[in-house]
Amino acid sequence: MDISYPPEAEAFREEVKDFLAEQLPADWPGIGALDEEPAWEFSRKWRELLAERGYLSVTWPREHGGRGLSKLHQVVLMEELAQAGVPFGMPHDTFGVKMLANTLLRWGSEEQKKHFLPRILAGEDVWCQGYSEPDAGSDLASLTTRAELDGDEWVINGQKVWTSGAHHSDWIFVLARTNQEAPKHGGISFLLVPLNQPGVEVRPFRMMSGQLHFNEVFFTDARTRADLVVGGVDNGWTVAQSLLGVERGEEAATNPILFKAELERLIELARMYGKDRDPVIRQRIAWCWAKVETMRNLGYRILTGWLKGAAPGPESSIAKLYWSEYHLQVTDLAMDIMGMHAQVPVGRPPLRTFRADDPGAANSSGSWSTTYLVARSGTIYAGTSQVQRNILAEKVLGLPREPRAAQK
């Protein structure tokens, strides 16, 4: 057993550390210490810098503007950024750099790669993801948004929902039904659709935390070029599935860093409120500590398999279920530590919409109470806890599948 990284990864770590030391002030507390506007300003500049130095495209091949390095290098980069309290790009890069670019690298045509990858890297195109629909959540493959060929264009009709950041995006990658006759999973295509056109309407809506993040996206005879289908017509389900797990190795390494920093902040919160001598609170803090440390060690086990070339499999469900269920508990503990003060939010909410607030953020009721609310979404998005348990029971434990309802 050896949980150290190989020398080439450690050499890269030194490079990243040098870069961070050169770019950030010595007393940099983390982006959380900035107010909202300066934080956005910092993020925009920081993103440009990362793109310029090739840190947004570490694993991309050189011919597409990447550095051609390994997945482990990417993990090391993410670890160091998380430790330093700086973001990996802007929030939309989750969809552009992480999801779509990796999909194009795997499935895209040469023209698609040549056109879109440099634009994603430069931040010229901002992307969002059009998967879920009002009647297709956990059962995504029952989606009904449809696309039909009309000459050299797809004509799209239907509705997407939970579309993160669509109100700031230029493009959306959409799963749409292109074959009504094929079986449920077989008639879906992965389409690239410009948002700025008359047939697309984006309506933001507010989350229970009060933040604007999600949108409904309505397609009414919206159009996109016939060649903007990725991975072949009717092959969209396979294309979308291959994306799952792309981020898991990174998350296995970075989640424990993020949540450890959050827990250290919570311990400080307990001291601030004089609760650190309370035996019940001490028990709950120790329980959380054990969970976060174990998250790290589970991560090493996942990373070990991932680096040995095992395809990302159902163990990603373990990681997702683990952190999201944990986060319900730790945020609840924060509320209990603050007591009556918790229900009077003071101070700004977290800058990032999901998971923990950023390093450096004020230890305020405004920060924690929003995180507490947002944590309730963690067990729903990207596969509910119930879906994850089904996956674990069926794919890992080999239990029989639930009998399916007859298809329409």
Partner 1 sequence: MDFAFDEDQEELRRTVRAFLEATAPEAETRRTMETEAGYDQALWRRMGSELGLQGLAIPEEHGGAGAGPVEVGLVMEEMGRAMLCAPYLASAVQATTALLHSDDEEARTELLPALAAGEQVATLALTEDSARWNREGVTLTARAGADGGWLLDGHKTFVLDGAQADVVLTVARATDGIGIFLVAGDAPGLTRTTLPTLDLTRRQARLEYRDVPARRLRTRGDGWELVEVVLRHSAVALAAEQVGVASRALEMAVEYAKVRHQFGRAIGSFQAVKHLLADSLMEVESARAAAYAALLSAQNGEGDLPMAASLAKSLCSDASVKVTQDNIQVHGGIGFTWEHPAHLYFKRAKTSQLLLGDSAYHRELLAQAIGV
Nearest in space to 140 (alpha carbons), one of 221, 247, 243: 243
Cβ nearer to partner 1, comparing 122 with 286: 286
Instruction: Choose which of 321, 338, 356, 361 interacts with partner 1 (CB under 8 A).
Output: 321
Nearest in space to 367 (alpha carbons), one of 47, 27, 24, 36: 36
Site for partner 1 in 9-38 (CB under 8 A): 9
Geometric angle at alpha carbon 88, from 83 and 91, rounded to 5°: 125
Cβ nearer to partner 1, comparing 270 with 356: 270
- The mark string for 100-119 relative to partner 1 (x by CB under 8 A, - otherwise) is --------------------
Site for partner 1 in 359-378 (CB under 8 A): none
DSSP code, position 348: P
Give the burial class of 117: count Cβ atoms within 10 A of its Cβ; 0-12 exposed, 13-18 middle, 19 or more buried: buried
The answer for residues whose C-beta is within 8 angstroms of residue 91's C-beta and 6 or more apart is: 164, 165, 352, 353
111 as an active site residue: the answer is no
Strand, coil or helix: 173: strand
Cβ nearer to partner 1, comparing 1 with 311: 1
To the nearest whole angstrom, how small is the minimum distance from the Cβ of residue 367 to partner 1?
21
To the nearest whole angstrom, how small is the minimum distance from the Cβ of residue 315 to partner 1?
8
Find how far residue 280's CA is from the centre of its chain. 34
Geometric angle at alpha carbon 163, from 157 and 165, rounded to 5°: 125
Residue 401 interacts with partner 1 (CB under 8 A): yes or no: yes
Beta-bridge partner residues of 174: 130, 191
Instruction: Choose which of 397, 405, 406, 408 interacts with partner 1 (CB under 8 A).
Output: 397
CA 164, CA 354: separation in Å to the nearest integer? 11
Residue 72 interacts with partner 1 (CB under 8 A): yes or no: yes
To the nearest whole angstrom, how small is the minimum distance from the Cβ of residue 292 to partner 1?
10
Question: What sign results for the dihedral spanned by CA atoms 83, 89, 94, 98?
Answer: negative
CA 375, CA 381: separation in Å to the nearest integer? 10
Cβ nearer to partner 1, comparing 241 with 297: 297
Residue 336 interacts with partner 1 (CB under 8 A): yes or no: no
Nearest in space to 365 (alpha carbons), one of 329, 339, 400, 394: 339
Strand, coil or helix: 62: helix
To the nearest whole angstrom, how small is the minimum distance from the Cβ of residue 80 to partner 1?
16
Considering CB under 8 A, how many residues would be counted as binding partner 1?
47
Residue 404 interacts with partner 1 (CB under 8 A): yes or no: no
φ/ψ of 16, rounded to 5, equals -65, -40
Side-chain-facing half-sphere of 184: CA atoms under 13 Å:
11
Residue 318 interacts with partner 1 (CB under 8 A): yes or no: yes
Residue 141 interacts with partner 1 (CB under 8 A): yes or no: no
Instruction: Choose which of 6, 38, 61, 210 interacts with partner 1 (CB under 8 A).
Output: 6
Q: Which of 133, 247, 251, 315 is catalytic?
A: 247
Cβ nearer to partner 1, comparing 58 with 298: 298
CA 202, CA 220: separation in Å to the nearest integer? 12
Site for partner 1 in 257-316 (CB under 8 A): 267, 270, 276, 279, 282-283, 285-287, 289-291, 293-294, 297-298, 300-301, 303-304, 307
Binding stretches for partner 1 (CB under 8 A): 1-6, 9, 72, 267, 270, 276, 279, 282-283, 285-287, 289-291, 293-294, 297-298, 300-301, 303-304, 307, 318, 321-322, 386, 388-390, 392-394, 396-403
The residues assigned a catalytic role are: 247
